[in-house]
């Protein structure tokens, strides 16, 4: 009895999904700090609770600056600099948020930051996924050398790229166009990420070759295999890359500060930095309220999608 190519693809796909699900369930069931047998020993239980207490104290310490910022946004300008400082505002001024929203023109800068983040995500998915697909499934000549070169770029501090990027943006090679004061000047350096390419390649390597081979036998081109098989199966990895890219773009400061000199095009982080100048007449409590509002979107994004981030890390092999 012969088996059709469609049945072969469905069987390979089901086997791949089952192996992914089983490995994920095994990892989640075996993942623990200390085994239950070890915790039955008094000494091990004492060490466990000491370490747990220290971790709780360190966590509270890291939340201290966030609490100071959130409470400072409700204080008056004089109470912020009061000595000794007040733990909670004597008279909370909730109007600081609405005043900061209006005075700082936050709708404009939120929109600018969102545009920069969406453009960075689209370019990252387009370039990183196609590059990873080429290295994983098409396997061009010297693919191992190319992958090693990607690894090498991860060892170079990002600040080293600052001057070459500045030269390229000021006079784009071949077409000789300046991208200063344009969002493209911010998007272009963020279009490719060696880290994202390697993450996607590792995920693509786990997709069974039977699926792509059967699609090619059916007459699908390499691009059709990429769109109809590889991309739909890679949603967990793409979700992780999307979230990381949005957060990185949202908090990006140095490069937009250099490229975007027009205040109407700048993102939130650059605008808030400009308000710290010596000639700024903005009350300090309004500035802190603006910082709180600017910090909320990435925090909410992480809280909503934290399960997807952890699951995506497991699927892409980014395990600690």
Taking the C-alpha atoms of residue 46 and residue 61, their distance in angstroms, rounded to an integer, is 23
Whether 308 is covered by a domain: the verdict is yes
Are 127 and 191 contacting, i.e. CB atoms less than 8 angstroms apart? yes
What pLDDT score does 32 carry? 58
Rounded to a whole number, what is the distance in angstroms from the first to the last CA of the chain? 47
What pLDDT score does 266 carry? 92
- pTM as predicted: 0.79
Residues 6+ apart with CB under 8 A from 279: none
What pLDDT score does 115 carry? 94
CB-count exposure of residue 30 (10 Å: 0-12, 13-18, 19+): exposed
Taking the C-alpha atoms of residue 226 and residue 124, their distance in angstroms, rounded to an integer, is 16
Residues 6+ apart with CB under 8 A from 298: 246, 247, 250, 251
Which domain CATH number covers 142? 1.10.3720.10
Taking the C-alpha atoms of residue 124 and residue 116, their distance in angstroms, rounded to an integer, is 12
Residue 51: count other Cβ atoms within 10 Å of its Cβ.
12
Taking the C-alpha atoms of residue 205 and residue 193, their distance in angstroms, rounded to an integer, is 18
Q: How many CA atoms lie within 13 A of 70 on its CB side?
A: 7
Whether 120 is covered by a domain: the verdict is yes
Taking the C-alpha atoms of residue 263 and residue 102, their distance in angstroms, rounded to an integer, is 16
Taking the C-alpha atoms of residue 301 and residue 240, their distance in angstroms, rounded to an integer, is 12
How far, in whole angstroms, is CA 82 from its chain's centroid? 37
Whether 275 is covered by a domain: the verdict is yes
Q: How many domains does the chain have?
A: 1
146 in the Ramachandran plot: left (φ > 0), alpha (ψ -120 to 50) or beta? alpha
Whether 150 is covered by a domain: the verdict is yes
Whether 33 is covered by a domain: the verdict is no
User: What is the number of helices (H) and of strands (E) in the chain?
Assistant: 18, 0
CB-count exposure of residue 256 (10 Å: 0-12, 13-18, 19+): buried
Whether 229 is covered by a domain: the verdict is yes
Are 316 and 199 contacting, i.e. CB atoms less than 8 angstroms apart? yes
Whether 294 is covered by a domain: the verdict is yes
Whether 10 is covered by a domain: the verdict is no
Q: Which stretches of the chain score pLDDT less than 70? A: 1-34, 278-279, 308-320
Tell me which residue range forms the domain holding 187: 104-316
């Amino acid at each position: 009895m012969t088996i059709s190519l469609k049945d072969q693809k469905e069987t390979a796909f089901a086997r791949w999904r089952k192996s992914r699900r089983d490995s994920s369930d095994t990892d989640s069931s075996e993942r623990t700090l200390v085994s239950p047998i070890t915790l039955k020993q008094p000494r091990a239980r004492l060490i466990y609770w000491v370490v747990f207490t220290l971790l709780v104290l360190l966590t509270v310490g890291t939340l201290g600056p966030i609490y100071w910022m959130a409470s400072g946004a409700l204080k008056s300008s004089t109470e912020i600099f009061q000595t000794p400082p007040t733990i909670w505002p004597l008279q909370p001024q909730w109007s600081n948020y609405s005043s900061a929203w209006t005075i700082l023109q936050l709708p404009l800068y939120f929109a600018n930051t969102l545009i920069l983040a969406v453009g960075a995500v689209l370019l990252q998915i387009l370039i990183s996924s196609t590059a990873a697909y080429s290295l994983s499934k098409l396997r061009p000549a010297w693919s191992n050398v190319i992958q090693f070169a990607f690894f090498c770029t991860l060892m170079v501090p990002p600040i080293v790229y600052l001057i070459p990027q500045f030269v390229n943006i000021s006079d784009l090679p071949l077409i000789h166009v300046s991208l200063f004061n344009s969002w493209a000047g911010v998007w272009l350096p963020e279009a490719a990420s060696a880290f994202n390419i390697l993450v996607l390649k590792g995920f693509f390597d786990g997709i069974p070759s039977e699926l792509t081979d059967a699609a090619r036998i059916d007459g699908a081109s390499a691009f059709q295999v990429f769109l109809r098989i590889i991309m739909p199966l890679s949603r967990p990895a793409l979700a992780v890359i999307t979230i990381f890219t949005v957060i990185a773009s949202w908090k990006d400061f140095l490069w937009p500060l250099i490229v975007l000199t027009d205040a109407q095009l700048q993102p939130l982080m650059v605008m808030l930095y400009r308000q710290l100048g010596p000639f700024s007449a903005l009350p300090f409590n309004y500035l802190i309220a603006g910082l709180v509002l600017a910090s909320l979107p990435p925090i909410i994004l992480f809280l909503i999608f934290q399960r997807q981030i952890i699951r995506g890390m497991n699927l892409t092999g980014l395990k600690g």
